[in-house]
Each structure stands twice: as C-alpha cells, then as structure tokens.
Structure 1
Amino acid sequence: MPLARTEAGHTAGRRLALAIVLGLGVSTPHAQTATWAASPAQGGSVIAQKTYSLPELIQLALAISPKNAEVQQQVTQADLAGDLVKSKYAPQVSLKALGGIEHTPLAIPQTVLPRGYFISSSREIFPTLELKWLLFDFGRRKSQVEEAAQNARAADFGLTAEQDRLIFDVSKAYFDATSSQGKVRAAEKALHAARLTEEAVTDQRSHGRATVVQVAQAHRQAAAAQLALTKTSGDAETAFATLVATVGLPPGSRFELLSPKDSGLDGEQSLQTLNALIDEAMQSRPDIQSAMSKIAAAQAKLDTAHAAYHPTISIQAQVLQNIGETSSDGSPYSSINRTGDSIFVAFELPLFDGGNRSTNVALAVSQKTQAEDALAATRNTVAQQVVESYNNLKTSLDNRREAVAYTKAAELAYQASLDSYRHGLSSVTDLTNDEAALAQAEANQEDADANVLVARAALALALGRRTAE
C-alpha cells in the first residue's frame, strides 16, 4: 500500500508540475483554467504572457520526464532491496495450525491382542507459534547488506547521470532555439538593410544616377533577403519544436524564451588546465562513482560467497497447544488440551553441495573483474569526453571572438558603403556585397554564441557539474 501511494504521488506530482508551469487548470476546488490563444500561423496553443528561462525548462523536464521517473523507481527499488536484506537480522515469528482426523493401524504383541494390531483414531488441532532466529552466520548478512547499500549508491549516481544528460539535452535544445531566434532577428535586420538599399537605388534612379539594371539588382537582393528570412523562420520553428519535444511538453506548445545570459561567452581565462579538469571529472562524474560502487557491491557479493563455507548457528523454538481426542479400536474417546514447547540450538555446516559454493565464488570473482574493467573503460571514456569538450570550447571561444570582430567590421563597411552610395561615390554592387556580408556575419555570430554556450554545457556534463539549475 505505501508503494502504491508513492507511485501515485510521483505521477500526480509530475502532472501538477506540468500544469503549474504550463498554466493549465488544476483539479482543485479553487483552480481556474488558464487563458489560451490560438496561433493562426503555427496552429498550436500559445501560453499567454509567459516567458521561460533555461532553469525553468530544466526543472520542468526533470519533473515530467518518463525516463527520469523510471530511474527514480530504480533508486527506490534499490533502497527497498537494502531494507529487505536488513530484515534478515530480525527473528522470524510465524503462527501455524494443523488440524484433522487420523486412523492409524498400530502393531501390538499377540499376547495382548491375538490379531497383532489395533486401530488408533484421533481428532486433533495443533496451533503452533514458531520462532526462528539466525544468530551467527560469519558475515553473510553483513556482506549482503553492504552489497545492497553499494547497489543503492550506484542507482543514486545513475539517477544523477540521467538527470545530467537530460539537463544537457534541454540546454542544447534551448541554445539552438534561442540561436535560431537570433538568426531570425539577424535576417530581419538583413531584410531591413536590403530595403534601405532598394530605396537608395530607387532614389538614385529617380535622379538619373542609377540604371534599370541596378534597380533590378536591388529588388533581387531584397527578395533574396525575404526568402532568407522565411527559411530562417522555418528553421527557428523546427528548433523550437525540438526544444518542446526534449522538455517533454505536448506538441504544439507555444511560449516565449528568455534569452540566455551573455556571461561566459567571453573570458577564456576562466578555463582550468586540461589535466585539472580531467582530475575533477575523475572525482565528480556520477558514472565513475556508480562504477566504483558496483565494484564495492561485487566485492561484498564475493565476501558473501566466501562466508557460505562457514557454519550457521540459529535458535528454533515453538509453543504448541494439543487440542483433541483419541480412541483405540472403537473405545470411548479420551480428550486432551495441553500446552507443549520446545527450544533448539541449530548448527548447520554444508559438507557437500555439488559445487554450488565454489561456483558462486567463481561467479562473484568474475563479476568483480567485470566491474573493474567497466570502471577502467568509463574512466577512459570520461577522459576522452573532457579532452574533446575542452578543445571544442576553446575553439568555440576563438571562433566567437573572430565572429564578433567580423560583425563589427561588416557593420562599419555596410554603413560606409551605404553612405558612399547615397553620395554617388560607390557602386550598387559594392553596396549589395557589403549588405550580404553583414547579414552573413550576424548569422555567423549567432551560431558562434550558441556554440560557446553548448560547448560550455558539454564541458559541464563531461565534468559532472550541474548547470542552469
């Protein structure tokens, strides 16, 4: 019953978290349904006047993720397995009752009865209270408790690793979505610039200083900018849909995104040395901690297998009541209603078991070796991930620095070209080229900003750090 309540509580909690964050109506006496507006352009639902930051989306994803809930149940099961093993330290008490009718032929000397037997008939009930208590097992239960505790620790670290992965997935989808929205803004600026160019060329044409061909080129550039905006808007919708799916929200959910902070986009000086980062990952990565706990659990299982070669000492006691009556060869029944009891100290040492204990030891040794090999492989993978994410972050920071410089230069070049063209000092070809270069530079900077943020999130994941919570 407690487990059923726990499972129901988790499900209700996930639904409540989803309802609260989405602004949906919650089934309470005072709940009111939130206002939803249809989006004609997207065909989805829009959450009125609601903007979400990355930490809010991460908390929502953690609350409603089925995979996260599944791993949480694994943690619960590992904890319950530990409680189950600990119960072996307690005495086992049971109540039994045996009742029935019995007719038994019994031998008797023919000097007493010529036919040599008589029939004993009885009608009895034996209610019994039994006690079994294992006193000494030379470390079996202790090792089993240790194994269960280490398995529970491994499950806890596994939950942390799953949550870290989900945090990274949501962070990456969020940065991709905000970057796509930034590209839309850049495309809108490019379209605005193209229209300014179009107006300038048209104005020059009206004064006889531009040709029909130049006007047509300006129109073509504006049309190309409009097409680029349409494509960029479609890419932004795709990125937003990916974010919605990654968080675990219903398809068609609509809400605004709070732009990520610019902190950390600059400042490569904050990076530690690569060796220091690898050392940090070896100490803090949950998958490494989980692998180490699995080794400890395998060692405890090996200790349990060795302890099986030692004897066990236990107490077995019972209190019974004999309620019944008996008769011999049809004689009148004699009744009884008396209490009996017994207590024994049991010593048990298996001498031959067909190789069961030796096989268990060999199996435990193999499992421990496997766990040690898994830890070594995990450490190699972690080191590789840290090196890769570290190099990606350094490259992303370098690319962003160059992208910022290029964007500033492109902005200056375009403004100068536009002013020069208005005064008849440059050609429309130069102006449109500078305009296209500025649009590309701004789009590249949005990519560079997102790449830095994603690279930082990837490095945090590789180091086992929690971010954006």
Structure 2
Amino acid sequence: MHERNIVAFIATCWLGVGLCAASTTDLAPPRPDRPWNPGAAHNTQLFPSTLSTSSAISDYTLPPNPALAVLAPALELDQEKSFSLAELVDIAESNNPNTRIAWNEARQAALAVGLVESAYLPRLTASAMGAYQAGSKQDSAYGLTLNSSNSVSGAIAALSLEWLLFDFGKRDAFLDAAKQTSVISNIAFTAVHQQLIYAVTMAFYAHASASEHAKTAVKSLENIKAIQVAAQDRYKHGIGTVIEVAQARQASAQANLLLVQANGVLEDTYYNLITAMGISPLTKLKIADITGRDLSPATLLPVEKIITDALARRPDVLTAYAAQKVSQANIAAAEAEFKPKVFVAASVAQVTGGVSVTAFPGFGLQAPTVDLAGSRRSGSVFVGISMPLYDGSMRATTLSKARIEAENAELRLTRIREEAVHQIILSRNALNTSVSTYNAAQELLNATQTTFDAALAAYRSGVGSITELTLAETQLLQAKNTLTDCYNKALAAAATLALSTGGLGAAPK
C-alpha cells in the first residue's frame, strides 16, 4: 500500500509538470494572423499574457512602455556662438555613447591582463568547517528495553598554499595574448574616435553645402523678383506682353518652391549632424560658415609615401597585426600543454572535536556517561611535477586549431593590407578629381554670371527675351550649386583620404 501511494504521487507530479509545459504555449500569439496581446506590469514593462484576441481586426501596434518615453536633455550651449567643425567634434567625443563604450571595452581588456598576471602568484586559501551530529536508538531484548543516544561535534581550520613554479611558457603565452588583446581594444578605441570625427565631418560638410544652397535659392528668388519687376515695367510701357509677365510670375513661383525645398534639406542636414554627434535632437546650436577656405593640392604627397605611412598606422592593419601576434601566442600556449609543470603546495590544519555517549535501560536505570575529546595540528609541504600522458588527442587538436588560426590571421593581415592600398589610391584619386572639378566649376560660374548679367541688361533695354533671361538665371543657380557641391566634396574627399590613411586624428583644419 505504501509503494502504491508513492507511485500515485510521482504520477500526479509528472502530469502537473506536463500540463504546465503545455499551458505555456498560450503565452504565444494565438494564431499566425492574430496579434499578440501583451500585458503590462506597473506600467513599466511588457510581459506575456494568456488572453487571446477575439477581434477580427488585426492591430499589430504594441502598447507603449512609459519607462522608455524619455528624451535625453538638450545640451546647454552658447546660443550666440557659431561652432566650428573642431568644436563640434570635441562636443561629439565628450557626449557620444560609442566613445564611452569603446573606452569601457579597452578598460576590460586591460583588466584581463591583470587576471593573467595573477596566475604567476601563489594562491592562499583559508577554510573553516564546524560539524555536529546526534543520534538515538532503542533496542529490546529478553523483555528489556535499552535507549541510547550519541552526539559528535568538531571543527576544522586549514590554511593551504598552491603555487605553480614553472610551466614551460604557458602563462607567458597567455600574458602575451592578453596584452595584444588589450592593444587591439585600444586600437578599436582610437578607430571609434576616427570614425566619429569622420561622421561629424561629413555631416558638417553636407550641412555647409545645404546652407549655401539655401542662400543661393534666396539670391535666385531675388533675381527672379527683379526679372518680374522688369517684365511688369516693360508691360506698362507697352513694349512687353502679358505672356512675359506670366512667365516671370511662373519663374518666381518656381524659385520660391526651390527655396522651400532647400530650407527643408538644410533642416534635415542639421539633424543629421546632431545625430552624428550623438547628442540630444533637442539641442540647438549655430554652425560656423566655412566658405572661402582654400583648396590647395600642394598637400598631396606621392602615392608611395602616402601608402607606406598609412600601412604603418591604419587601425585595421594594426589590429590585424596584433591579432596575428595573439594567434602565435596561442600556439605557444598549446605547445606548452605537452610539457610538464612544476608546483609547490603546502597546508596547515587544526582539528578539534568531542564525542559524548549516553545509554540507559528502559526501566529507568541511568547508564554511565562517557565523554571523549581531543585536538590535533598538522602541516605539510609538497613539491611535485605533473606530466600529461594521454588525453584522447585533445592537446594535439587544440594545437592544430591554433596553427590554422595563425595561418588565417596572417592571410587576413595580407588581405587587409591589400584592401588598404586599394582604398588609399581611390581616395587620393577622388581628391585629385574633386579639386580639379572645383576649379572647372569656378570657371563655369564666372561665365554663367557674365551671361546672366548681360541677359538681364539686354532685357531691361528691350532687346532681350524673357525666355533667354530666365534660362540664364536657371543656369546661374545651377552653376552656383555645382560650385558649392564641388567645394564641399573636395573637403569631404580630403577627410576621406585622411581616414583611409589613418591620419584623421582630429577635425580637419
């Protein structure tokens, strides 16, 4: 009967576990074409709900989590100051979370070096343990009942020392690998800053270009308004036509539309710049004007010199080189596993304890009580050597994997160097092309400006047509925007070349 109760209890527990496991499927969406209905706990987070949706309308909008509805506060900056690119980069480096993440990762890698260095030191352990055991027993024989009880208690305190004296370079290899890993993290920290500088620089130049487009659109609208006034004046004096006035109004409306679009792009580029900096979108600041900056191709060094300097300082090349060193250290550590280890161990212990035994017959006669107590101390020192003999080829497999990884690390270094050379050459060519394009755009703008001035003067004199004048004004607008784009593209190309060579350590000057 007792055994049947145990079996029934186990079966009931097993059935309950099965029902619980089956019921958890209710936490998922009820059907593939019905939304999930999460619950809310304390209005702060979502949790699975077993409630199913009965509505035929599928609404896959998640309920809001008020704990996440928080915007970062705006930075308190001088609203009258116009911030230069260097100042914007400085703000970004101080506030962008990516730089802090990279810094923390570099610190973690540095701490890992300390962990490996601790393997060279002895390990000292103190242990203490107390114990108590009690028991009772009742025996009957020949009509007599004998009750007995006993208890045991004691304490042990020990101090042990373990020290690995020599391991044929395994710890040295691990230490080298940890140091190179720290170097890789520091390089990554530097690379994050370079990428941030580059992102802010590109967003800054894009905003500068959009700002100039907006200014050009304003000037274009002013020119069109002047054309419209001239057309209306010609019409009043009987030398113009209604069609010319209508064309002038059409051109004015078109210019106003371009101005609205240019202002929209300007606002977008502003928020792109704020995003690249990693600061609150609520932040308001003024951006300094960079027009008039010289574009000098004299800074271009021979391509061979650029490439050799870049290969010695590009973050990806340096990272690949450090990774190769890590793989070589892993080989040394794997080879050390085939060799013996010399160690020393020592311990000091103290044991105290007592035993108390009582026995008395069932009819009430008290038996004598016996108390036994004692203590002892011990100490030992061992010096030994351990040698692995057989492990099912685990060490050999580990060594083979380490050698393969070292070969791959060397191949990756070669590939990254080749890719770096390719990027540098393309970046240098892009800079050369952008500077030449800017010079050509400058000549185009000068010629287009002359054409527009002549067409406007001719129209006011009554010898030109409004069609030619509006065409000249459109071409002037395009020429100004082209020059602006070429100018900022040249600056961006210079920053791209600096990044590809690993020399973008600060905001371009």
TM interval, shorter chain, is 0.7 to 0.9
Distance in 1 between residues matched to 2:323 and 2:372, nearest whole Å: 65
Corresponding position of 1:70: 101
Cα distance between partner residues in 2 of 1:206 and 1:193: 20
Report the equivalent of 2:487: 449
- Where do 5+ consecutive residues of structure 1 fail to align? 1-17, 25-46, 104-119
Once residues 203 and 256 of structure 2 are traced to their aligned partners in structure 1, the CA distance between those partners, rounded to angstroms, is 26
How far apart, CA to CA, are the structure 1 residues paired with 2:314 and 2:98? 20
Flag the 1:410–1:64 CA change in 2: closer, same or farther, 3 A: same
Deviates most, 287-296 or 327-336? 327-336
Q: Match of 1:284, SS?
A: coil
Write the mapping of 1:235-314 to structure 2, written as runs, cut at 5 A.
235-260=265-290, 262-263=292-293, 265-314=294-343
Q: 1:198 aligns with which of 228, 232, 250?
A: 228
Residue pairs, 1:334-413, within 5 angstroms: 334-413=372-451
Question: Counterparts of 1:216 and 1:98 in 2: how far apart (Å)?
Answer: 102
Does the CA contact (< 8 Å) of 1:61 and 1:247 recur in 2?
Answer: yes
Give structure 1 regions of 4+ aligned residues with deviation exceeding 6 angstroms. Answer: 327-331
Match of residue 75, structure 2, among 22, 35, 50: 22
What is the count of residue pairs matched by the alignment?
A: 412
CA distance in 2, matches of 1:159, 1:260: 29
Q: 5+ unaligned residues in a row in structure 2: which ranges?
A: 1-71, 135-149, 360-368
Deviation of residue 268 (structure 1)?
1.5
Q: Partner of 2:389: helix, strand, or coil?
A: coil
Counterpart residue type for residue 121 of structure 2:
A
Match of 1:169 among 194, 199, 202: 199
Equivalent residue, structure 1, for 2:111: 80
Question: Secondary structure at the residue paired with 1:145?
Answer: helix
Counterpart for residue 56 of structure 2: none
Q: Is the 8 A contact 1:151 1:294 kept in 2?
A: yes
Q: Of residues 201, 208, 214 in structure 2, which corresponds to 1:184?
A: 214
1:104-127 Cα offsets, whole Å, 9 max, x none, are xxxxxxxxxxxxxxxx99643220
Code of the aligned partner of 2:340: P
Structure 1 vs Structure 2: percent identity of aligned residues?
A: 30
Q: Is the 8 A contact 2:96 2:279 kept in 1?
A: no
1:147 aligns with 2:186: no
- Which SS does the other structure have where 2:312 is aligned? helix
Shift in CA distance, 432/101, structure 1 to aligned 2, threshold 3 Å: closer
Question: Could you say which structure has the larger radius of gyration?
Answer: 2
Say whether the 8 Å CA contact 1:201–1:218 is kept in structure 2.
Answer: yes
**Residue identity in the other structure for 2:408:** Q
Q: Which residue of 2 aligns with 1:207?
A: 237
Aligned-pair distance for 1:252? 4.6
Answer with 146-155 or 380-389: which moved more. Answer: 380-389
Partner of 1:323 in structure 2?
352
Tell me how far apart the structure 2 counterparts of residues 220 and 252 of structure 1 sit (CA, whole Å).
38
1:297-321: CA deviations, max 9, x gaps?
1111111111111111111111111
CA deviation after TM superposition for structure 1 residue 261, in Å: 6.1
Q: Take 2:426 and 2:110, find their aligned partners in 1: how far apart are those partners?
A: 36
TM-score (norm. length: structure 1):
0.82
- State the Cα distance separating 1:341 from its structure 2 match: 1.2
2:460 is the alignment partner of 1:422: yes
Compared CA separation, residues 255 and 327, structure 1 to 2 (3 A): closer
The TM-score with structure 2 as length reference comes to: 0.76
Q: Does 2:506 match 1:467?
A: yes
Q: CA RMSD in A?
A: 2.4
Q: Name 1:38's counterpart in structure 2.
A: none
